[in-house]
Amino acid sequence: MLSMNRSNSQLEFPWTGELDSVTGIPPRKALDISLPLLLRIMGEEELPLSAIMIDIDHFKNFNDKWGHDTGDKVLRHVSTIIRESVKYRGEVYRYGGEEITILLPNTLSDEASQTAERIRQSVYASPLKRQSKAEDESSLIPLSVSISLGVSTFPSVDGSELLVAADQALYDAKRRGRNTIAVFNSCKKNESSPVVVDVRFPAASSISEGNYVILTRWFRHRGELTEIEAREISVPGRGLREFAEGPMPPGGAVTAEIRGRVTAVERRGKSTFFSFEVEAEVLDLMYHHLKDHGS
């Protein structure tokens, strides 16, 4: 169990389970155990808790161009830099795929942002050396690696929304062009007007009302921007990812992340229909993404 050393306000992270086989850091299961305990301890002590969500930019390119062995090396490389950057101050977890999560107890938003920026700079300044077909040292090829980071802090953000808020900030960082950090801004969220999008998922789904969902592969449906079909959806808070197959509807395929909250769900036959609440600016981005891709 997590414990607080009251003399120096440091948290101990005695994770004794298996580490992630690729990165050598605690897995998502450890995060799911640690976070509720940390939130309880921080709440009792009236101390802040910051979360940083990290995504390796264009990670798929490393796997596609150089192979999965290189992709694994990139993950280990980035994880090692992150772990060393927060040693004795927090813990690092492999959230899933190329996403990594940091929990920083007793850390305010400004300090967490500074930590995130230091990590970003460290990764960007440390290219990974990849061996070419030749065996001599001169054949080492530097691979440039960058990351995007999102920061959120409890109690400014409700504990149950801490990772969701950090994930939303991460999305903002990626929208800005990647290789940058973003801090969750609750005021900006409150000022934005939500828009409801009708989504059809042509398969059975376990999503429910209230879930925060990401659509990754989707199509413009019936020529209307607010009616789309999704082929890949995920629920970050539950580590859930679902896929569906089917003929392409009118409008063309798009691979882009759209994040929002499910407000209603209806299951008809083999399809799942849900109302998807997104920020108005996200809907605007959807429109321009479709326009840019000629859909």
The answer to whether residues 205 and 211 touch, using CB atoms and an 8 Å cutoff, is no
Taking residue 23's Cβ as centre, other Cβ atoms within 10 Å add up to 21
Q: Active-site residues: which are they?
A: 98
> What pLDDT was estimated at residue 1?
38
> What pLDDT was estimated at residue 141?
62
The structure tokens listed for 138 are 């001169």
> What pLDDT was estimated at residue 213?
81
Q: Name the helix (H) or strand (E) containing 254.
A: strand 253-268
Q: What is the pLDDT of residues 117-158, one digit of tens each?
A: 999 999 999 988 765 554 444 445 678 899 999 999 999 999
- 249 preceded by cis ω (within 30°)? no
pLDDT above 70: percentage of residues in the chain: 78
Is the pLDDT reported for residue 295 higher than 60? no
What is the rounded distance in angstroms from the CA atom of residue 39 to the CA atom of residue 59? 31
Calculate the CA 140 to chain-centre distance: 31
> What pLDDT was estimated at residue 109?
96
Any idea of the CA torsion for 52, 112, 122, 23, to the nearest 10 degrees? -30
> What pLDDT was estimated at residue 172?
83
Backbone angles phi, psi at 235, to 5 degrees: -120, 100
**Domain spans of the chain, in order of start:** 3-187, 192-292
The residue that leads in pLDDT, 27 or 198, is 27
The whole-chain average pLDDT of the chain stands at 81
Q: What is the pLDDT of residues 56-67, one digit of tens each?
A: 988 888 887 888
Q: What is the pLDDT of residues 154-197, one digit of tens each?
A: 999 998 889 989 988 988 888 777 899 999 987 655 455 567 77
Q: Domain 3-187: state its class.
A: alpha beta
> What pLDDT was estimated at residue 13?
58
Is the pLDDT reported for residue 41 higher than 70? yes
